[in-house]
């Protein structure tokens, strides 16, 4: 029994470790980059739900409801920063411009509480006097005074109620503005769960290609160096960890040699470049640069 429990703990730990590694790879590849949305995005943290395993990937019913309820925080053609990528057991959150309004710490309650004014001391005293007085004239005078006190309290209630309604409308307008400024997100759901091997940056880009323009191909074509022209020192200085293979090829073109080492989840692709008097060795895992070495020949 103890062995089975220990095995289960190891299995869960391995799963969490793989999930964290996959999240780190995707974060390096996408966070801080600018993309262009191809659809209107609802102004809520609920975002847009996608199901890659289904014939119809987008949940259009939920999408329509959210657009109608919350409005569009991002419009078709807007450029926005990828602010967060989170990998969970069953889904990947691809957050844009803050991830959408409604997360922890965001105030979504548009109501403003109204509390009725309490009875004054005089109103309470008059009610007691009315109970204890039998003379009709005195009772009429007490009742008139009591009615006046009650009307005063009702007028105060009316003022407070109107102020609460105005405050609620102002709060509603403020929250609506914040929704339209809070970004949105894609929730990519895998059934029954994310594959054990994780999702590579290229796979995630393919899943989102219908809804997001990553600018990768266009940028790569515009930035790809002339094969006959020398590569500048500036291009070498721009090399950094977290780049995708497409980013690297946009800087240096096709590698002189390409090889692989390791296997399974630890498989590493090695790109070799000879640029002027320098050799550059770039190691990539899951299509993301994890190490590079620049040496002089």
pLDDT tens readout for residues 156-175: 989 888 888 887 777 777 76
pLDDT band at 104 (very low <50, low <70, confident <90, very high): low
| Residue 282 falls inside a structural domain | yes
H-helix segments, 182-287: 201-208, 216-223, 233-237, 245-252
Residues 15 and 95 in one domain: yes
179-217 residue pLDDT tens: 778 899 999 999 889 988 889 999 999 999 999 999 854
Residues 17 and 40 in one domain: yes
Q: Which positions ≥6 away from 69 have C-beta within 8 Å?
A: 42, 44
107-138 residue pLDDT tens: 767 777 878 889 999 999 999 999 999 999 99
The CB-based long-range contact list for 216-225 (8 Å cut-off, 24+ gap) reads 216/244, 216/246, 216/247, 217/246, 219/250, 220/246, 220/247, 220/249, 220/250, 223/250, 223/251, 224/249, 224/250, 224/253, 225/251, 225/252, 225/253
- Sequence length of the chain is 297
Average model confidence (pLDDT) for the chain?
Answer: 83
| Residue 111 falls inside a structural domain | no
Q: Tokens in use for 230?
A: 């020398």
The rounded distance, in Å, linking the Cα atoms of 22 and 297 is 36
The rounded distance, in Å, linking the Cα atoms of 155 and 152 is 5
Of 30-34, 202-206, 227-231, the poorest mean pLDDT is in: 227-231
H-helix segments, 182-278: 201-208, 216-223, 233-237, 245-252
Q: Domain residues for 68?
A: 2-101+182-213
For the whole model, what pTM was predicted?
0.58
Residues 68 and 198 in one domain: yes
| Residue 194 falls inside a structural domain | yes
SS3 221: helix
Residues 6 and 94 in one domain: yes
Domain boundary among 165, 196, 213: 213
Q: Tokens in use for 123?
A: 């109103």
Residues 242 and 191 in one domain: no
Q: In the sheet that 278-285 helps form, which strands lie side by side, from edge to edge?
A: 257-261, 268-275, 278-285, 288-296
Of 67-76, 111-120, 137-146, the poorest mean pLDDT is in: 111-120
The rounded distance, in Å, linking the Cα atoms of 296 and 279 is 6
Residues 137 and 201 in one domain: no
């Amino acid at each position: 029994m103890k062995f089975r429990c220990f095995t289960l703990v190891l299995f869960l730990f391995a799963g969490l470790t793989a999930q964290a590694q996959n999240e780190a790879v995707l974060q390096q590849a996408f966070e801080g980059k600018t993309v262009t949305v191809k659809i209107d995005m609802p102004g809520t943290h609920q975002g847009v739900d996608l199901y890659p395993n289904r014939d119809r990937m987008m949940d259009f019913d939920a999408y329509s409801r959210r657009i109608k309820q919350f409005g569009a925080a991002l419009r078709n053609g807007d450029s926005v920063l990828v602010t967060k990528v989170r990998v969970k057991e069953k889904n990947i959150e691809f957050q844009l411009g803050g991830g959408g309004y409604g997360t922890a710490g965001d105030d979504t309650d548009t109501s403003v509480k109204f509390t009725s004014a309490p009875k004054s001391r005089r109103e309470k005293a008059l009610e007691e006097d009315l109970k204890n007085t039998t003379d009709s004239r005195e009772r009429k005078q007490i009742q008139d005074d009591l009615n006046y006190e009650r009307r005063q309290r009702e007028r105060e209630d009316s003022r407070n109620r109107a102020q609460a309604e105005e405050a609620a409308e102002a709060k509603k307008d403020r929250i609506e503005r914040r929704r339209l400024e809070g970004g949105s997100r894609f929730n990519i759901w895998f059934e029954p769960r994310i594959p054990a091997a994780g999702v590579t940056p290229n796979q995630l880009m393919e899943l989102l290609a219908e809804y997001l323009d990553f600018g990768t191909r266009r940028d790569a074509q515009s930035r790809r160096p002339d094969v006959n022209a020398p590569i500048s020192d500036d291009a070498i200085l721009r090399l950094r960890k977290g780049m995708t293979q497409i980013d690297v090829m946009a800087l240096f073109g096709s590698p002189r040699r390409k090889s692989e080492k390791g296997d399974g989840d630890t498989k590493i692709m090695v790109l070799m470049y000879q640029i002027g008097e320098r050799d550059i060795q770039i190691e990539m895992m899951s299509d993301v640069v994890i190490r590079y070495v620049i040496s002089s020949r």
